[in-house]
Protein backbone atom coordinates (compact mmCIF):
# COMPACT_ATOMS: atom_id res chain seq x y z
CA UNK A 1 0.00 0.00 0.00
CA UNK A 2 2.84 2.42 0.75
CA UNK A 3 3.85 2.36 -2.92
CA UNK A 4 0.39 3.53 -4.00
CA UNK A 5 -0.55 7.15 -4.66
CA UNK A 6 -1.79 9.32 -1.80
CA UNK A 7 -5.48 8.96 -2.70
CA UNK A 8 -5.27 5.16 -2.82
CA UNK A 9 -3.41 5.13 0.48
CA UNK A 10 -6.06 7.43 1.98
CA UNK A 11 -8.86 5.14 0.75
CA UNK A 12 -7.18 2.12 2.32
CA UNK A 13 -6.50 3.87 5.63
CA UNK A 14 -10.02 5.32 5.78
CA UNK A 15 -11.57 1.93 5.06
CA UNK A 16 -9.48 0.32 7.80
CA UNK A 17 -10.40 3.10 10.24
CA UNK A 18 -14.08 2.72 9.37
CA UNK A 19 -13.93 -1.05 9.88
CA UNK A 20 -12.28 -0.70 13.29
CA UNK A 21 -14.81 1.94 14.32
CA UNK A 22 -17.75 -0.18 13.10
CA UNK A 23 -16.71 -3.14 15.20
CA UNK A 24 -15.95 -0.83 18.12
CA UNK A 25 -12.40 -2.02 18.70
CA UNK A 26 -9.04 -0.29 18.75
CA UNK A 27 -10.61 3.17 18.60
CA UNK A 28 -7.25 4.87 19.16
CA UNK A 29 -5.84 3.01 16.16
CA UNK A 30 -8.95 3.83 14.11
CA UNK A 31 -8.50 7.51 14.88
CA UNK A 32 -4.80 7.33 14.04
CA UNK A 33 -5.54 5.69 10.67
CA UNK A 34 -8.26 8.23 9.86
CA UNK A 35 -5.96 11.10 10.81
CA UNK A 36 -3.20 9.73 8.59
CA UNK A 37 -5.66 9.47 5.70
CA UNK A 38 -6.71 13.09 6.30
CA UNK A 39 -3.08 14.21 6.19
CA UNK A 40 -2.54 12.39 2.89
CA UNK A 41 -5.52 14.21 1.40
CA UNK A 42 -4.39 17.60 2.62
CA UNK A 43 -7.41 17.95 4.90
CA UNK A 44 -9.99 17.57 2.10
CA UNK A 45 -11.74 14.17 2.46
CA UNK A 46 -14.25 14.91 -0.30
CA UNK A 47 -13.04 12.08 -2.58
CA UNK A 48 -12.99 9.51 0.24
CA UNK A 49 -16.54 9.18 1.63
CA UNK A 50 -15.47 6.53 4.12
CA UNK A 51 -13.20 9.03 5.89
CA UNK A 52 -15.82 11.40 7.33
CA UNK A 53 -17.95 8.36 8.12
CA UNK A 54 -15.03 6.78 10.00
CA UNK A 55 -14.52 9.99 11.99
CA UNK A 56 -18.24 10.11 12.74
CA UNK A 57 -18.21 6.56 14.04
CA UNK A 58 -15.13 7.28 16.15
CA UNK A 59 -16.72 10.41 17.58
CA UNK A 60 -19.95 8.60 18.29
CA UNK A 61 -18.12 5.78 19.96
CA UNK A 62 -16.34 8.15 22.32
CA UNK A 63 -19.62 10.00 22.94
CA UNK A 64 -18.99 13.25 21.08
CA UNK A 65 -22.17 15.17 20.36
CA UNK A 66 -20.83 16.33 16.99
CA UNK A 67 -20.96 12.90 15.37
CA UNK A 68 -24.13 13.62 13.40
CA UNK A 69 -22.52 16.59 11.63
CA UNK A 70 -19.74 14.34 10.30
CA UNK A 71 -22.25 12.09 8.50
CA UNK A 72 -23.43 14.88 6.18
CA UNK A 73 -20.24 15.19 4.09
CA UNK A 74 -20.02 11.41 3.81
CA UNK A 75 -23.59 11.17 2.56
CA UNK A 76 -23.16 14.04 0.09
CA UNK A 77 -19.97 12.53 -1.30
CA UNK A 78 -21.50 9.06 -1.57
CA UNK A 79 -24.59 10.44 -3.34
CA UNK A 80 -22.40 12.39 -5.78
CA UNK A 81 -20.34 9.29 -6.57
CA UNK A 82 -23.50 7.23 -7.08
CA UNK A 83 -24.97 9.86 -9.41
CA UNK A 84 -21.73 9.95 -11.39
CA UNK A 85 -21.62 6.15 -11.65
CA UNK A 86 -25.24 6.08 -12.84
CA UNK A 87 -24.47 8.74 -15.45
CA UNK A 88 -21.46 6.80 -16.73
CA UNK A 89 -23.47 3.58 -16.84
CA UNK A 90 -26.31 5.29 -18.71
CA UNK A 91 -23.84 6.79 -21.17
CA UNK A 92 -22.16 3.44 -21.81
CA UNK A 93 -25.43 1.56 -22.29
CA UNK A 94 -26.99 4.20 -24.56
pLDDT 10s digits, 38-94: 898 886 656 788 888 888 888 877 665 455 666 777 778 888 888 888 988 888 887
Cα–Cα distances (Å) from 27 to 30, 46, 58, 91, in that order, read 5, 23, 7, 42
- Number of Cβ atoms within 10 Å of the Cβ of 48: 26
Q: Give residue-wise pLDDT tens across range 27-40.
A: 889 999 999 998 98
Cα–Cα distances (Å) from 74 to 2, 3, 35, 55, 89, in that order, read 25, 26, 16, 10, 22
Global pTM value: 0.62
Amino acid sequence: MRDADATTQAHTLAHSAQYLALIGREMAQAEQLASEAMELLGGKPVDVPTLPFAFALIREHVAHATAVAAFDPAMLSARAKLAHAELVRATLTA
